[in-house]
Amino acid sequence: MSKRKIAVIPGDGIGPEITDAVLSILESAGFEAEWEFLEAGQPAMDKGKPPMPEETIERIREIGIALKGPTATPIGKGHKSANVALRQALDLFANVRPAKTLPGLKGPFADKRIDMIIVRENTEDLYAGIEYQAHPDVAQAIKVITRPGCARLCKYAFEMTKSQGRKRLTAVHKANIMKLTDGMFLEEFYKAAKDYPEIHADDIIVDNCCMQLVTRPETFDVLVTENLYGDIVSDLAAGLVGGLGLAPGANIGINCAVFEAVHGSAPDIAGKGVANPTALLFSALMMLRHLGENEMADRIGKAVLRVCSDGQCLTVDLGGKASTDEYKVEVIRRAQDALSV
C-alpha cells in the first residue's frame, strides 16, 4: 500500500528545528507518511516569492493535509501574512486551539485543572485585511463578519463539543459595543445552539472572559469566538498552561486541514537548538487523530506527559536545560517504552 502523502512547511525561525524533531518522533513511533516539503515564509521570500507562494497553496489544496511550522510576518509593512493568506485561500474557517494543564509543570496555574478548547474563526473579522488611509492622520480597518461565516463556525464548534463528549460551549464577544457584527455572531450562536440541547450554551463579553480566564480558568470548557478575540484569548490560555511552547492548533476547512502551533517563529532563540517542539508535536497529534490514528496519538501524547511529569528533560522555556534534540530523544524513548510494556 502506498504511504499517505502529507505536506510539510518547515517555515522559518525555529520552524525547521522543531519540524525536524516532530517528524523524527512521528516516524520513530511508527507513523508512515510520505512528507512533501513545501516552501513558505523567509525561504520563499529569499527567492523573491511571496511568503505563501501560490504553488504551496495549490499543493496543500491537492494533498488536503499539512503540518506547518511558523512563518514570520514583517510588522507594519511588506506582504500579507503567510498564515492569513493560507487560511483565506483554503477557507480554513475554524482554528481549534486546546489548552490543558500538563502534570509536573510549575507556574502560577499549575494547581488548576485547566482543560479547555478555543475555537477561533479564521478567515473574517479585522483579518480580512481591508485597511485604508484617506487622511495622513487617520487610518481605518474594516471588521468583516458574515452570517454564513458565523453559522458554519458555530455549527462546527457545537459538533466538536458534542463529538468530544464535552458539556459546555461559551461564545466570546463584544456585542454590547459592536452590536451589528458581534450581535450577528451571537445571534447565529444561539440559533445553532437549538440543535444541541444536550450542550449548555452561554456567552461572555471578551474583557470579562479574560479576567475569568486568569481567576478561574478551570471553569471553562469550549469557547467559540471571532478571529481577533480568538487570537488574543488563545495566547492567554497558552500562558495559563505553560506557555507558547506547549500550545497546539489545527486549521480546519471543508476539504483541507493545516496543523500548526500557536506560537510564531521565535527569532530570539532561532538556530540555538533550544526551542520546545511540543506545541508542534501536539499539533501533529491532532493531525494523527484527524487521520484516525488515535492509538499512536495517545501513545506519543502519554510519552510527552511522562517526560513532563518526570521533569528531568524539559526545554529551557519550561525551566529545564534540555536542548530540542535531547528532549526529542527522550520522547522517542518513552514512546518506545510504552510499546514494550
Catalytic residues: 127, 174, 207, 231
As beta bridge partners, residue 131 has 141
Site string for ligand NAI, 284-313 (x = CB under 6 A): ------------------------------
* By the rule CB under 6 A, 72 interacts with ligand NAI: yes
* By the rule CB under 6 A, 320 interacts with ligand NAI: no
Cβ at position 317, least distance to ligand NAI in Å? 4
Cβ at position 257, least distance to ligand NAI in Å? 15
* By the rule CB under 6 A, 88 interacts with ligand NAI: no
Nearer to ligand NAI, 221 or 325 (CB): 325
* By the rule CB under 6 A, 192 interacts with ligand NAI: no
Nearer to ligand NAI, 18 or 223 (CB): 18
* By the rule CB under 6 A, 260 interacts with ligand NAI: yes
* By the rule CB under 6 A, 265 interacts with ligand NAI: yes
3-state secondary structure the chain: CCCEEEEEECCCCCHHHHHHHHHHHHHHCCCCEEEEECCCCHHHHHCCCCCCCHHHHHHHHHHCEEEECCCCCCCCCCCCCHHHHHHHHCCCCEEEEEEECCCCCCCCCCCCCCEEEEEEECCCEHHHCCEEEEECCEEEECCECCHHHHHHHHHHHHHHHHHCCCCEEEEEECCCCCCCHHHHHHHHHHHHHCCCCCCEEEEEEHHHHHHHHHHCHHHCCEEEECHHHHHHHHHHHHHHCCCHHHCCCEEECCCCEEEECCCCCCCCCCCCCCCCCHHHHHHHHHHHHHCCCHHHHHHHHHHHHHHHHHCCCCEHHHCCCECHHHHHHHHHHHHHHHHHC
58 phi and psi, to 5 degrees? Answer: -65, -40
* By the rule CB under 6 A, 17 interacts with ligand NAI: no
Q: Which residue is nearest to ligand NAI (CB)?
A: 264
**Binding residue (CB under 6 A) for ligand NAI from 73, 146, 212, 336:** 73
* By the rule CB under 6 A, 263 interacts with ligand NAI: yes
**Alpha-carbon torsion angle 300, 221, 241, 122, nearest 10:** 80
Cβ at position 96, least distance to ligand NAI in Å? 14
d(CA 131, CA 142): 6
Cβ at position 221, least distance to ligand NAI in Å? 25
Cβ at position 40, least distance to ligand NAI in Å? 9
**Binding residue (CB under 6 A) for ligand NAI from 26, 86, 269, 285:** 269
**Alpha-carbon torsion angle 252, 258, 259, 264, nearest 10:** -110
Nearer to ligand NAI, 86 or 169 (CB): 86
* By the rule CB under 6 A, 170 interacts with ligand NAI: no
d(CA 258, CA 109): 30
* By the rule CB under 6 A, 83 interacts with ligand NAI: yes
Site string for ligand NAI, 27-66 (x = CB under 6 A): ----------------------------------------
Residues 213-242 that bind ligand NAI (CB under 6 A): none
* By the rule CB under 6 A, 266 interacts with ligand NAI: yes
Task: Kindly determine how many residues on this chain lie close enough to bind ligand NAI according to the rule CB under 6 A.
Answer: 21
Point out which residues bind ligand NAI (CB under 6 A): 14, 18, 70-73, 83, 244-245, 260, 263-269, 275-276, 279, 317
